[in-house]
Structures are given as C-alpha cells and as structure tokens.
Structure 1
Amino acid sequence: MDCGPKKFYHKHPFDCTAYAETYFSDKPDMVFADDTLKFPMMNFHYIFSSGFVKGDVLIDVSVGSLIHHLYSACDIFKDIIILKLNERCNMETSKWKDARTGAMEWKHTSAHAAKLEGKRAQTKDKDEQLKTAISHVISCDFEHENITYPVVPPLADCVTSLWLIDVISKDKDDYVKNLEKISKLLRPGGHLILLVSLDITFFTAGEHRFHIVQFDESFVKNALYKMGFVIDYCAVQKRRNESKLIDYKAVMFITACKTK
C-alpha cells in the first residue's frame, strides 16, 4: 500500500473497479455491507416510498461507478441523469448500463432493492427498470460554476450525492463551495440527498490512500441551513465493521429541501 501523501480522487488515477469491489461487492470478505449497502438502500427506499420526495428529473453526482442507491429512485423519477467527474467511472457506469462485457456486477443490490419492496422475484426487472430510467451518463467538472459545462441539464427535482463532494474538497471551505455548485442543479422546492462519512480522513482504493475531508454531523447541517435548505430527514449509523482500509466513525444520510 502507498504510504506517501494521500491522493485526490479527481487529480490522480482512481481505480473505480477496485473501489467498488472493496466497499460494495458481495464478496464474502467484504465487511462494509451494513454501512455502504444496507444503510443507504434502506434510507433511499424509505424516502422515495414515503412520497414526499418526488418529481420527474433526478441528477446523481456520486463517487465511483455506484448505482445501488438509485434502484428506489427509478420507481419515482422518469429521467435519471448521472454525472461522473472521473472518466473511468463514467466509462464503467455506461458499461453496466449497456450490459457490456466486464461490467461491474450489481445483482446483489438489485436483489436487495427488490427485497425492500417485497418483490423478491423481480430482481431482473429492477435492473432493467433502472437502466431504462437512466437517460444520460455525462462528465462534470467542478472547476466550472456550471459543473456540467457546456451542457445545461434541466433543473432537477432531486439531486443525490454519495461521498463525491467529500473526496474532491481539500477542506471545509472547499466543501461548502462544491456543495453550492451541486445545489444549483436543483429547482426551488426540490430535494438534495447526501450520504457522507463522519470523522474520516482517508480511504483506500487499490494500492493507494485517498484524501477525504473530515467533518462532523453539525458541519453538514449548518452548511445546508446557510444555503437555504430545510432538513427533512436525517439518519446516522455508527460504524459496524473493523478495517484498516478506511477510518470513518459513522455514516450519515440526510435529505434537505431547497427553499430558494
């Protein structure tokens, strides 16, 4: 393992396949499932099945090539647009969507989504439903105020983001700036859903350690409040595994409504 300076997700080569296999796979030695798979999927299912987050357009801007959190969303949103900062993650997500050879296997998560909905026999249907709902997988760049420049997507009814702002922000001030850029993708009255790790300083992907900005629950809530968001729902789960690959203390799922 590289013990030198921590690398940055958006500035250094990032192996999204190794990342997904380490933290999100169904391998027997994958110890993170309670925090990275079950906790977020349970909360996404709760939020979307409750009916107070709804609309037509959802934009997802998440780390890696993750799609497991979107199974519940495709029951609600007709148009899901996925933004990827890392070109390889863009390629891997498109490969899964198009069912190309070598794509990451997500059937264990589509099966869990079907189980949450009480439709155990419809795993394949959930996969196809999500692939159909994803209209675009496009690149983004946080160096621009409009992170999708030169593309201008429709304002979203919901924006979901898992860990991306955390890994590209060098410090808390930078996190707030990047959070503001994501909030511009959202229409007034729309909902922002974040999944973050609390009190973390690094994570490992492949042979390298990567930077991730450290903060606590109150920091995220205060940042959202100052931007004009009203928090509708928040759930925090203390870490449920032991591993030297990553040093977070808890994971937090938070849903907030944009009021202006």
Structure 2
Amino acid sequence: MDSIPKKLYHIHRFNSRSHLEFYLSGKEDMVFGEDSLKFPMMNLHYVFSRGFICGNLLIDLTMGSVIHHLYSASNIFQDIIIMKFSEKCSMARRSSWQGDRAGAFSWNHTKTSVEELEGKSDQIQDKELNLKASIKHIVTCNLEEENLTHPLVLPLADCVISEGLLDVISKDEEDYMRNLEKVSNLLKIGGHLILFGLLNTTYITAGADRFHMMKYNESFVRSALSRLGFVIDYCAAQRRRNVSDLIDYSHIIFITAHKEK
C-alpha cells in the first residue's frame, strides 16, 4: 500500500463524483453507510437538538461535494457558506444538486435517515428546499493564504463544520495545527467547531487515484483543539464497521468544541 504514490487533495484533481459513489451512495453494495452516512447525521442531530449551538452563520469546510451533514444544520442556521479547495467540487455543487440538473447525485437515501431522526416524514421535501435556501455562497479558498478566502473577507461564523478536510489537506501534525488555526480564525469567540475525522488513516481512494490522508489518533486531535483555545463539549468515536481496501481508517470520530479564546 505505502509503495503506491499518493496524490494531494488540494493540489491534484480529486474526483468528487467518484468519492460520492464510493462512500456516500444509496446503493445496496455501498459498505460505508454506517460510518459515512448514519454516524455523522446521528451525531449532528444530537448536538443540534440539544440547543447549545445556535446563531445565524455557519461555514462548512468538507471534502468533496458532500451535503447530507447539513440537513440538521439548516434547522438552525439561516445562512450557510460553503468553502471548497477544489473548484471542481464547487462547480459540482452549484450546477448539479443545487440546480436540480439531470444526472445529479441523488441524496434521496439520506432523506430517510432525516425522517427517522426527526420524525417529520411529511416535511422531508421541505427540508431539502430549506437547505438549498440556506446555502448563500459557495466559495473557493486557497490553503496558502492565512485568510483562506483572500481577498474576500467573510464575517466570523457562529459555527464551523469540517468533515474530513483537515485529514486530507494536512501533511503532518505541524501542518494540521496550522490548518486548524486557519479554521479557528473563521469563528467568533464562543462559536462552535464541529469536526469529523478518520483515525489512523493514511489514504483514501477516489476514482483511479489514491490520495494522502494524515495519520493521527484521538489524543492528538484533543490536544490540538486545547492548544488553540477550544473546550470540547462532546466527543463520539466509532470503530470501523466495514471491510474495504478503498481506505484504511480504524475509527471515525466526531467532536464538538467551543472557542474560548
């Protein structure tokens, strides 16, 4: 495995459609449903339903063209800004799902999960429309800048969600800390950061390519958050529930933390 060269998510071309089909589709042979679909949605529903995360603006930094994790967020936040390091991912989001284009990736299977979590089967269609209305901007950002959206300056967010992105853009622990600090700079004092990560992982496959992922454990990410002035409010980790050589993680982790300084 280690002898195969790995590409970098934010530098090389990442096949976002293949990523969706491999890890997030509703196909019967899609083995990642427990980890990549149910676990994030269940934990997001839980923390948002508790009421301690609130505000008007949410910023989302998630790898690929993923949207299912934002259903619960759109119950709370009127304005959602999506940041992408890949222009292709930005274009896919704008032109397909948001524009209801033919051939767009279907998220219908995630609506069933929303229905089960919230018990609102008669409002599922409204939920998708509500999410689309909440997404105000999709912007492409630059990892080389301290302000990720330079020269655009965004208002500070009440909440930032990052699903898997820090794992694929960070080369090592030092790099992860720099990137986490840039993400922290998007938040207000008192605002909440929601992180999804994959523990003990070194690669992810998308299309015919294998991409680098930074290997770390739960202790490291807890320490990193503490060093940057965050206090963890909630943490859940789940052992891998699938067998596949597309990716080599051991656990998926979900952390909610608030920014104290």
- Shared fold (TM-score, shorter chain, > 0.5): yes
* Residues 99-137 of structure 1: per-residue CA shift (max 9 Å, x gap): 223322112113311321101232211110100011001
What is the 5 A alignment of 1:51-66?
51-66=51-66
Matches of 1:113 and 1:89, distance apart in 2:
24
What is the aligned partner in structure 1 of residue 24 from structure 2? Answer: 24
Give the secondary-structure state (helix, strand or coil) at the position aligned to 1:104. Answer: coil
Instruction: Return the TM-score normalized by structure 2.
Output: 0.97
| Whole-angstrom distance in 2 between the partners of 1:103 and 1:61 | 21
Q: Which residue number corresponds to residue 34 of structure 2?
A: 34
Note if contact 1:60-1:82 (Cα within 8 Å) is conserved in structure 2: yes
1:72 paired residue number: 72
The whole-number CA distance in structure 2 between the counterparts of 1:113 and 1:150 is 37
Please identify, of 188-197 and 119-128, the stretch whose mean Cα deviation from structure 2 is larger.
119-128
Specify every segment of 5 or more residues in structure 2 that has no aligned partner in the other structure, as ranges. Answer: none
Match of 2:113, SS state, is: helix
Within 2, Cα distance between the matches of 1:115 and 1:126?
A: 13
Q: Distance in 2 between matches of 1:199 and 1:247?
A: 8
Contact 1:114 1:126 in 2 (8 A): no
Moved over 6 A (4+): none
Q: Secondary structure at the match of 1:82?
A: strand
1:77 is paired with a residue whose SS is coil
Instruction: Tell me the CA shift for residue 94 of structure 1.
Output: 1.1
Corresponding letter in the other structure for 2:248: D
1:162 alignment counterpart:
163
Distance 1:92 1:126 in 2: 21
Q: Does the alignment pair 1:114 with 2:115?
A: yes
Secondary structure of the 1:130 match is: helix
- Partner residue of 2:147? 146
1:197 and 2:195 aligned: no
1:207 is matched with which residue?
A: 208
Cα distance in 1 for residues equivalent to 2:63 and 2:47: 21
Letter in 2 for 1:219: F
What fraction of aligned residue pairs are identical, expressed as a percent?
Answer: 56
Q: Which residue of 1 aligns with 2:184?
A: 183
Structure 2 counterpart of 1:82: 82
Render the CA deviation track for 1:48-88: whole Å, top value 9, x for unaligned: 11100110000001100011000000000010000011011
Name the amino acid aligned to 2:64: G
1:218 alignment counterpart:
219
Alignment correspondent of 1:9: 9
Alignment partners' CA distance in 2, 1:220 and 1:54 = 24
1:175-211 CA distances to partner (integer Å, 9 max, x unpaired)?
A: 1100000000000000000000000011111111110
Structure 1 contact 80–136 (Cα < 8 Å) conserved: yes
TM-score by length of 1: 0.97
Q: Write the letter of the residue equivalent to 1:233.
A: Y
Alpha-carbon shift at residue 151 of structure 1 (Å): 1.0
Q: Which amino acid aligns with 2:165?
A: L
CA distance in structure 1 between the aligned counterparts of 2:114 and 2:73, rounded to whole angstroms? 11
Q: Which moved more, 1:175-184 or 1:98-107?
A: 98-107
Q: 1:105 is aligned with what amino acid?
A: S
Aligned length: 260
Q: Deviations over 1:218-257 (max 9, x none)?
A: 0000000000000000000000000011110000000000
